[in-house]
Amino acid sequence: MKKLLIFGVGLIGGSLALALRRSQSDWHVVGVGRHGDSLQEALDLGIIDEAATDLALALQDTDVVVIATPVAQTPAIFSSIAPLLDVNTVITDVGSTKADVAADALRLLGAAASRFVPGHPIAGAEKSGPAAANADLFVNKNVVLTPLEATDSKALDAVSELWLATGARVRRMSAAEHDGIFAAVSHLPHLLAFALVDDLASRPNSAQFFELAASGFRDFTRIAGSSPEMWRDISLANREALLQELDTYQQTLSQLRELLHKQDGNQLLALFERASRARTDWAQQHPQQASSWKN
């Protein structure tokens, strides 16, 4: 019997639990949360075996602790579990940024920091809560682990195995590299979409824009419907890398503006061709990421 303790049994935490239980029947899953209803729902749905009422008891003999709450809660969770952890318990998380979590772990987990493996499953999250949990969520998805220098190799192996058991592909890189990549491919696009929608919504004739906006607008701005709190947290947590990406992007836009101003059709065409080819190639080479299980 192996024991998994999950803080935050929502879409990600719940799906991880379901995937692991499907892969191995001897997981005992304990859920910890701030919302009694949500934990009850997770129990009723068979996602967890037990809803924790006593943290010390919950942490006894635990093999893996997964922190899957909104990222703002992670430091407090670190502080609360640090004095209660068994010497072999491995801890991991699922947050969208890694350098900040790694720094918090070093600062707050004490000796247990060497058994913390920062992790990030790249999996869809439009729905939320335990009812959205799905054992297939991570199949063929990427999971990035960003072990610290201090991270124990056995802990790293344990978390790698955990994710491999869900059907995911696991890769490792530094926290800095992770945060830089996701600033570019995820965090910046969210900010850009938020900015466009807010701009249009603030205009006196905003209704007319929204009346006539169609499929291009729909796709480009879908991510602007995301959780504002989550994105405030991600933006602040990944501020350095985001500022860098934003500056780079502003330069690209200025160059584009110049081409348009000069009416340089050839250079505009070249830019659009490079982008269109790259986008089409990507969709063909990564159909899993370029399509959605939701559709």
Site residues (CB under 8 A) for a copy of itself, limited to 145-174:
none
Handedness of CA 99, 102, 106, 109 (dihedral sign): positive
Nearer to a copy of itself, 27 or 138 (CB): 138
200 forms part of the interface with a copy of itself (CB under 8 A):
yes
Q: How many CB atoms lie within 10 A of CB 242?
A: 23
C-alpha distance from residue 226 to each of 109, 190, 253 (Å): 31, 8, 24
For 120, which DSSP code? E
In this chain, which of 24, 88, 140, 291 binds a copy of itself, going by CB under 8 A?
291
Burial class (CB in 10 A: 0-12, 13-18, 19+), 217: middle
As a dihedral over the C-alpha atoms of residue 101, residue 107, residue 110, residue 115, rounded to 10 degrees, the angle is: 20
In the complex, the smallest distance separating the C-beta of residue 276 from a copy of itself, rounded to whole angstroms, is 5
Among 40-48, 127-135, 154-162, 261-269, the segment contacting a copy of itself (CB under 8 A): 261-269
Distance, in Å, from the CA atom of 15 to the CA atom of 281, rounded to the nearest integer, reads: 30
User: Which 63-102 residues touch a copy of itself, going by CB under 8 A?
Assistant: none
275 forms part of the interface with a copy of itself (CB under 8 A):
yes
Among 15-23, 62-70, 152-160, 233-241, the segment contacting a copy of itself (CB under 8 A): 233-241
Distance, in Å, from the CA atom of 96 to the CA atom of 74, rounded to the nearest integer, reads: 12
In this chain, which of 87, 111, 204, 218 binds a copy of itself, going by CB under 8 A?
218
In the complex, the smallest distance separating the C-beta of residue 11 from a copy of itself, rounded to whole angstroms, is 13
In the complex, the smallest distance separating the C-beta of residue 124 from a copy of itself, rounded to whole angstroms, is 5
221 forms part of the interface with a copy of itself (CB under 8 A):
yes
Distance, in Å, from the CA atom of 114 to the CA atom of 151, rounded to the nearest integer, reads: 4
In this chain, which of 26, 36, 53, 261 binds a copy of itself, going by CB under 8 A?
261
In the complex, the smallest distance separating the C-beta of residue 94 from a copy of itself, rounded to whole angstroms, is 14
265 forms part of the interface with a copy of itself (CB under 8 A):
yes
Pattern 101-140, a copy of itself, x by CB under 8 A: ---------------------xxx----------------
